[in-house]
Amino acid sequence: MKKFAATFALIGSALLLSGCSAYYDLAYDQQHVEWETEKPDEFPVLTAVGYAPIAEQQGDNQQHKDLAAMRASKLAAYRELAEQVYGQRIAGGSSVENWALTNDTFQASVDGVIRGAEVVRTYTVGEYYATELRLDFQKVHYIYQSTNRQQKIKRVIYY
């Protein structure tokens, strides 16, 4: 029994001491990091066009329908820009019963925030209203930099 107790005490003390043997560098506690901002070499410019049918809009008169189509075409153009920037999520499903396809569905969605886009032109095309948008990523870069400066490590000084 004494031999078992001595072995147990030896193993227990080895486990306790091994927890204290982790390497710890005091140099990481005292350091100064200098940062510098990086700017991309090129900035792409994206364009998008959105369309909306004027006659399908709800409104009391033609002016209200025109304004609604104008707004709908602008939102459609923003959706197209979001698809270009963030991509489009596609979800689909199929059902098979007795070796025959019984149901085939898919759904598309877009989610994102577009900042800095500008309306280039709005005009009518027959029975539709069209809006052209332009998104210059240089402008987006400056907007992002003003709210969240992206930086890289310039130099680290250890004391």
Domain that holds residue 97: 31-158
Domain count, the chain: 1
CA 54, 77, 141 angle in degrees (round to 5)? 155
The one-letter amino acid code at 113 reads: V
Q: Residue 147's pLDDT is what?
A: 79
Residue 97 lies inside a defined structural domain of this protein: yes
Percentage of residues in the chain with pLDDT exceeding 90? 57
Residue 110 lies inside a defined structural domain of this protein: yes
Angstrom distances, CA of residue 94 to CA of 90, 97, 110? 14, 10, 22
pTM for the complete prediction?
Answer: 0.65
pLDDT digits 0-9 by tens, 116-149 = 999 999 999 999 999 999 999 999 888 887 777 6
